[in-house]
Amino acid sequence: MISFTFHHGPITFAGVLLIIVLCVADSYFTIDIVSRGGQELNPIMAYYLNRSPLLFFIVKYSITCTAIMMILSIKSNYIWGIRIRPEFFLVSFFIALALVVQWQLFLIHSATD
């Protein structure tokens, strides 16, 4: 019988929550920047943003949560013979989102000066 239940600790849970918070912040700041005249560079997300900011948020949030669930469902992965744990992917995801949010904050701050 195949089991997909893995137990992750409180640090992983906190990391997941931080990624979700960064996703929400990224969505909010993207909508704010676009409303100030900026543009969404991702053509797929730009399509959803042009349809509706709420739809944009729902799609972005859904993609993020799906990616997190997929990452957490992997016990470990081997890339070029090196064992990589799912926490590595979560940390990478967190760093990427944190850099995006930092860039957005810079854009918003420089636009208000």
Region 38-46: mean pLDDT is 93
pLDDT at 62 over 90: yes
Task: Specify the pairing of strand 77-79 against strand 82-84.
Answer: antiparallel
Q: Give pLDDT, residue 5.
A: 57
Q: Collapsing DSSP states into helix, strand and coil, what is residue 41?
A: coil
Q: How do residues 2-15 score in pLDDT, each as one tens digit?
A: 455 567 778 888 88
pLDDT of residue 89: 85
The distance from CA 5 to its chain's CA centroid, rounded to whole angstroms, is: 23
Tokens (6 digits) for 65: 């949560």
In the predicted model, what is the mean pLDDT of residues 71-98?
A: 83
CB-count exposure of residue 56 (10 Å: 0-12, 13-18, 19+): buried
Across 26-30, 36-40, 68-72, 77-81, least confident range: 77-81
Percent of the chain with pLDDT over 70: 89
Higher pLDDT, 66 or 76: 66
